[in-house]
Amino acid sequence: MTKAENDQIATLDSARRMSHGQQLARAAHKTPERVAFRCENQQRTYAEIDRRVTRLARGLADRGIGHRDRVAILMTNRIEVLESYFAAHRLGAIAVPVNFRLTASEVAFIVENSGAKAIIVDAGLAPLAGQVRAQLGDGTPISVCLVTSEAPEEAGPRSESYEQVISSSSDTELAIDVPESDPAFIMYTSGTTGRPKGAILSHFNLMINTFNMMSATSMFGDDTVWLSGLPLFHIGCLDGILPYVMIGGTSVILSSGPFDASQAVDMLVNERATACLFVPAQWQAICAVPGVKQRSFNLRRILTGGAVAPPSVMKAMIDNFPGIPIYNGFGQTEMSSVTCVLRGEDAARKLDSVGKPIVNVEARIVDADMRDVPVGTVGEIVYRGPTVMQGYWDRPEATEEAFGGGWFHSGDLCRMDEEGYVSVVDRTKDMIISGGENIYCAEVEAIIDSHPKVKEVALIGVADAKWGETPVAIIVPADPLDPPVESEIIAYCRERLASYKKPTAVILVDELPRNASGKVLKTRLRERFGKQPS
């Protein structure tokens, strides 16, 4: 093939590109004055956000950030989080969202593992960023640190003001061709090893997932306002916002902090939201707000996700939001993320189900030998399709294990009924989901095991009326005559882990049940201690 022919193919490929960064630019051309994002008292139109994204991208490029470089974003919910995501994508860089609830050592691992060359933080988290950079020392890969503060030095040496970088950079459109196959995000999740793994999601993954969501939830052009109760570092929050960027709608983002159900109801009414997403624990609180059923909503649909919604929560949603279709989504980060949706018309009769696999997601429920299990039989749900991640960042062995047999192994134990509806039974990875947050047993167990008064420990999830599940530590003391006390273990964890990961109770036992190969039998622990301690 001649050079001219290769050039022509490259030109045609460029003309066919489609990414969310380009969708943002298109919305800015079509509806420049429409509000794109609103959070607390701050809002920006599509024209404003598009200009600021271009300026931020140019500012990063001027500081050496380019194609496939990683940009860590450590911020609470604010519009600048989305600006940072889109700016990284304009450059062909990879955004690395970081959970703002993590400790300095947890953040340091993600920064070091991803090899992030830049970190963008908000004013409140600048001291945490400073601790992270100090922990990593001279070996830190970070060469750029931007802070949404007039005192950026709190984040460490050579930190700069986010707003000054934007104001001093050009808003001339960037001409960078970013293939859909390029990574857009590295989103860290954890597995049985206890160490977070970075799921690599491409622009194509996210674009197809966006179309999937629009199809699965019957989203049409009359949708104008989206409201989400999830943190912006969570893939579920992006699942909701990206379709609204595509259609030029408005996304309203709740600020971070303790969830206020009454405030959320007021916002749904005052913002005239046409759709919203909250985790089951949030919906439980919303449905308990006095008079919520009598409020005047503009909702076309309501969604729940982030954790499996108990039937009681689904019933409360149906009772308090009569006539509004309810959608129960299920999935995981590695799938970009939605795999199954229980559609509105089926919610009442399939309360214990997460619905059916959605368009572009092929699913099977299999046994350990990858054979399909009979209808109604429990097995692992595995997937394939265009939303499956590209793999785990710098973890080839974990990637190979996850894709055994040519399908992505979810680790979720499910059953499918005769109509094709999926119900989640358990998780093979012993993951606990509390209030929509993932808690991974191996990670917490490793911390507790390092306590001098602990000989052995196993973490299990027990049912909790508010959070769905809550972690409980089952401990064998190193010295039965001097056992650790509950407050001591909880304080020890609080110092070393994000607060939501710490156990809410400690139970002392003489020994842990094990099978012949020495593996702890958590099923027996759940049978014995599975009720919430009083």
At 437 the pLDDT is 84
The C-alpha atoms of residue 36 and residue 55 are separated, in whole angstroms, by 17
> Can you spell out the DSSP letters for 378-421?
-EEEEEESTTS--EETT-HHHHHHHTGGGSEEEEEEEEE-TTS-
Helices 20-30 & 79-91, crossing angle to 10 degrees? 110
How is residue 302 annotated by DSSP? E
> Per-domain residue ranges for the chain?
44-178, 432-529
44-53, 446-455, 493-502: which is most confident = 44-53
Taking Cα atoms as reference points, which of 318, 148, 303 lies closest to residue 219?
Answer: 303
Task: Give the angle subtended at the CA of 151 by the CAs of 150 and 152, to the nearest 5°.
Answer: 100
Out of 130-139, 192-201, 398-407, which region has the weakest mean confidence (pLDDT)?
Answer: 192-201
Give the count of beta carbons closer than 10 Å to the beta carbon of residue 15: 8
Q: Is the pTM of this model over 0.75?
A: yes
Residue type, 176: I
- pLDDT of residue 181 exceeding 90: yes
Sheet containing 356-357, strands listed edge to edge, beginning at the edge strand earlier in sequence: 42-45, 35-39, 250-253, 225-228, 275-278, 301-304, 326-332, 337-342, 356-357
**Residue that the structure tokens 């622990």 belong to:** 525
Q: What is the mean pLDDT of the chain?
A: 91
Q: What is the mean pLDDT of residues 369-381?
A: 95
Three-state SS letters, 168-180:
CCCCCCCCCCCCC
Q: How confident is the model at residue 1 (pLDDT cuts 50, 70, 90)?
A: confident
At 12 the pLDDT is 61
- CA distances to 121, 131, 155, 257, 498 from 127, in Å: 10, 6, 5, 18, 16
Residue 233 in contact with residue 241, Cβ under 8 Å? no
- How is residue 226 written in tokens? 């989206």
- pLDDT of residue 191 exceeding 60: no
- pLDDT of residue 193 exceeding 50: no
CA 103 remoteness from chain centre: 18
Residue-wise pLDDT tens digits, 39-92: 999 999 999 999 999 999 999 999 999 999 999 999 999 999 999 999 999 999
The runs of H, that is alpha helices, within 194-260 are 203-216, 235-247
Residue-wise pLDDT tens digits, 280-329: 888 989 999 999 999 999 999 999 988 778 788 899 999 999 999 999 99
- Beta bridge partners, 278, equal 304
At 190 the pLDDT is 59
At 15 the pLDDT is 63
Residue 181 in contact with residue 204, Cβ under 8 Å? yes
At 533 the pLDDT is 47
Q: What is the mean pLDDT of residues 104-128?
A: 96
Taking Cα atoms as reference points, which of 437, 512, 516 lies closest to residue 470?
Answer: 437
Domain 44-178, CATH number (from 3.50.50.60, 3.65.10.10, 3.40.50.11030, 3.40.50.980): 3.40.50.980
Q: Does domain 432-529 have CATH number 3.30.300.30?
A: yes
Q: For the chain, percent helix, then strand, then coil, each to nearest 5? A: 35, 25, 35
Residue-wise pLDDT tens digits, 322-366: 999 999 999 999 999 999 999 888 988 998 899 999 999 999 999
52: enclosing H helix or E strand: helix 46-62
Residue type, 154: E
Residue type, 146: L
The C-alpha atoms of residue 456 and residue 451 are separated, in whole angstroms, by 10
- Three-class secondary structure of residue 467 per DSSP: coil
- Three-class secondary structure of residue 88 per DSSP: helix
- pLDDT of residue 516 exceeding 50: no
Residue 415 main-chain phi, psi, to 5 deg? -135, 155
Residue-wise pLDDT tens digits, 4-47: 666 565 556 666 677 888 889 999 999 999 999 999 999 999 99
At 10 the pLDDT is 58
The C-alpha atoms of residue 161 and residue 209 are separated, in whole angstroms, by 34
Q: What is the mean pLDDT of residues 161-178?
A: 94
How is residue 480 annotated by DSSP? T
Q: Of all residues in the chain, what percent carry a pLDDT higher than 90?
A: 72
Residue 294 in contact with residue 323, Cβ under 8 Å? no
- CA distances to 234, 280, 424 from 464, in Å: 22, 12, 17
At 433 the pLDDT is 84
What radius of gyration do the chain's Cα atoms show? 23
Residue-wise pLDDT tens digits, 212-244: 999 999 887 767 999 998 999 999 999 999 999
Two domains, one topology: 44-178 and 432-529: no
Residue 146 in contact with residue 165, Cβ under 8 Å? yes
> Can you spell out the DSSP letters for 120-133?
EEEGGGHHHHHHHH
Residue 226 in contact with residue 249, Cβ under 8 Å? yes
Residue-wise pLDDT tens digits, 251-264: 999 999 889 999 99
